[in-house]
Structure 1
């Protein structure tokens, strides 16, 4: 008869040893995920993925996927998990499952300095508001700013390009990505946050988690435990501090 250790090994063997762990990543969302000129993937999400694979004794296979195809690709078994700053929302949980959060930062609007309008629904009425397609930010924009002219993009980088070029009046995205990926750069020197952080848990969720298929509960639990372990031994802080001046884990 197998002892407890043997039973645990059988229960977790598929997640902690054996074949590669295929991880869906975007590669177009700095500083969380981006691609260098030589094709190398970099960023906080990438570092998290590699650390998770190491702790599960699995080879890490990073699979690039455009954002709006992430969930369909997971369901089609193109990869085993998504580590791509995907917010944990009730709407998404109808189709897929999530680990515990691995960070939580608020969404904010960005516009030109002294834009001449505020970040309210009335202030954005008739304004061109850019967001990345199929994100929590699209959900919030449609809900909170119904009078704005919503312009959807495939990547966040495209949003920044059009905002810089004057083709947008404002944009809505994760505040940390907005600061590190745009406002802190030369391209963003004439822009600033507009208004307060977005208070919309229905759309924004409760933080970003690793996504898995609903039937993969053993993998989900193993990944959640790994996040806890990374937090507990200081590895999370070391990765966090490589990219950010603040603790992005949140409350």
Structure 2
């Protein structure tokens, strides 16, 4: 789905020396495991969500076409560096550890991690974590934070490949709580089956969470990074990012500075 820009995309494309006719579609890497409301499949079978639609809007601003290319989350960085995708746009935080192997654009959104547990469970985090079982998706900033800051709390940290596996084990009673992206958790709590759960706390600002969410790129792709930064600026300045954020997330999480 394409979105009109108040800033003329043709002017942005001309300033970057880019045209849709001259360049092949950019392969936008997302996790093959749905991550609603950021990336998921619509009833039609097409991928949609906040980041999918924002990716198309950014490509429009650049005068480029995008091709959504699902891959496994655990192998998404190797896929990028092997040239199977051109960029990663899948709620990937800009962290020092990741910057050792890939590059990033400027951040386009930011949300904290959130702890979710049963409504009737009284928790003072991290003091009351001793003896509890907590689920976290592996290879995420939440997993990095848990490893660094919660190992001495007595909590049993269990890592999962997919976010939905974590959610399902919480609902099934196999976990006492989970730590995950706050926006994704608010969407999860809107489900009928999650009516007995709530956000207990949010994680504090920590270096494990990095500088926000950016588009991951190969370190040598300087021209693409500059073009994407211009595209991100365009969709933020003309309100497209904010509109999509309100539509899919119910709040504006775009990074304006």
- Calculate the TM-score normalised by the size of structure 2: 0.87
CA contact (8 A) 1:140 1:200 kept: no
What is the deviation of 1:117?
A: 3.4
Distance 2:156 2:45 in 1: 35
Q: Distance in 2 between matches of 1:61 and 1:209?
A: 18
Contact 1:125 1:145 in 2 (8 A): no
Question: How many residues get paired?
Answer: 241
Secondary structure of residue in 2 paired with 1:103: coil
Using a 3 Å threshold, how does the CA distance of structure 1 residues 212 and 166 change in structure 2: closer, same or farther? same
The 2-side partners of 1:178 and 1:189 are apart by 12
Instruction: Indicate if the aligned counterparts of 2:18 and 2:63 stay in contact, CA closer than 8 A.
Output: no
For 1:143, the equivalent position in structure 2 comes to 148
- Contact kept, 8 Å, 1:137 with 1:172, in 2: the verdict is yes
Which residues in structure 2 correspond to 1:17-166 (within 5 Å)?
A: 17-27=22-32, 28-120=34-126, 122-146=127-151, 147-166=154-173
Measured in 1, the distance between the counterparts of 2:231 and 2:16 equals: 16
Q: TM-score, normalised by structure 1?
A: 0.89
Give per-residue Cα distances to partners, 1:221-245, cap 9 Å, x unaligned: 1101111100111212221221122
Q: 1:247 aligns with which of 240, 252, 255?
A: 252
Note closer, same or farther for the CA distance 1:139–1:155 as it changes in structure 2 (3 Å cut): same
Contact map agreement 1:30 1:43 (CA 8 A) in 2: yes
Greater strand share, 1 or 2?
Answer: 1
| Consecutive unaligned residues in structure 2, runs of 5 or more | 1-12
Q: Distance between the aligned counterparts of 1:57 and 1:83, measured in 2?
A: 18
Cα distance in 2 between the residues matched to 1:99 and 1:15:
21
- Aligned-partner SS, 1:84: coil
Structure 1: state its 5+ residue gaps. Answer: 1-7
CA distance in 2, matches of 1:11, 1:101: 20
Displacement of 1:84 after TM fit?
A: 0.5
Q: Cα RMSD (Å) of the superposition?
A: 2.1
Per-residue CA deviation, residues 140-182 of structure 1 (Å, 9 max, x unaligned), is 11122112211111111111111000000110011111001x1
Native 8 Å contact 2:27 2:67 kept in 1 = yes
Q: 1:17: how far off?
A: 4.4
Alpha carbons 2:144, 2:208 under 8 Å: kept: yes
